[in-house]
Amino acid sequence: MAPKAENKQGKTRPAARANAAAKAVVKGSSLHKSRKVRTSTTFHRPKTLQLSRSPKYPRVSIPRAPQLDANKVVLYPLNTESAMKKIEENNTLVFIVDVKSNKRQIKMALKKLYDVDTVKVNTLVRPDGSKKAFARLTPDVDALDIAATKLAIV
């Protein structure tokens, strides 16, 4: 912007001030900002930047070991008469498992311990408080063969 025209006392001339005012009117003042139109009666706080955490030191000294590993999930195979019938007729192995274990944990434990794939796992809690798991094996694997070789119950 060019320096303002000043007279000898250091004040701007009235004509220069008038010209500056005319330019401001033509150009428009920045004092009139448009306001945001609110379309809702409820105010939602805007989402702010959430940086990922990078702690300077761990808050726990040792990470906890998993509560149930494969050996704790499957306690022992069941070799009752009804369990033998399941093995022969339904291609299903029967185990007593930890009460806190779920079907996914039982399936993974059987895969790790005995290297068998299961189609589905059914569970029930017995009246004595223990949990029984029925692991139905895939059709390409024979449950009688697994029971004889890996479980040694037949």
Q: What is the pLDDT of residues 93-126, one digit of tens each?
A: 999 999 999 999 999 999 999 999 999 999 999 9
**Per-residue pLDDT averaged across 54-70, rounded?**
89
pLDDT of residue 30: 67
Contact 131, 125 (CB under 8 A): yes
Please give the sequence-ordered ranges of beta strands (E in DSSP) within the chain, or none if there are none.
74-77, 92-97, 118-125, 131-137
- DSSP for residue 109: H
Supply the pTM of this predicted model: 0.60
Contact 110, 118 (CB under 8 A): yes
Say yes or no to pLDDT of 3 above 80. Answer: no
Percent pLDDT > 70 in the chain is: 90
Q: How far apart are CA 87 and CA 113, in angstroms?
A: 18
Q: Pick the range with the lowest mean pLDDT from 11-15, 51-55, 72-76, 84-88.
A: 11-15
pLDDT band at 23 (very low <50, low <70, confident <90, very high): confident
Say yes or no to pLDDT of 75 above 70. Answer: yes
**CATH superfamily of this structure's domain 70-151:** RRM (RNA recognition motif) domain (3.30.70.330)
Say yes or no to pLDDT of 28 above 60. Answer: yes
Domain residue extents for the chain: 70-151
- 131 forms bridges with which residues in the sheet? 97, 125
Q: How far apart are CA 32 and CA 34, in angstroms?
A: 7
Distance between start and end Cα atoms, the chain = 101
Q: Which residue has the higher pLDDT, 22 or 139?
A: 139
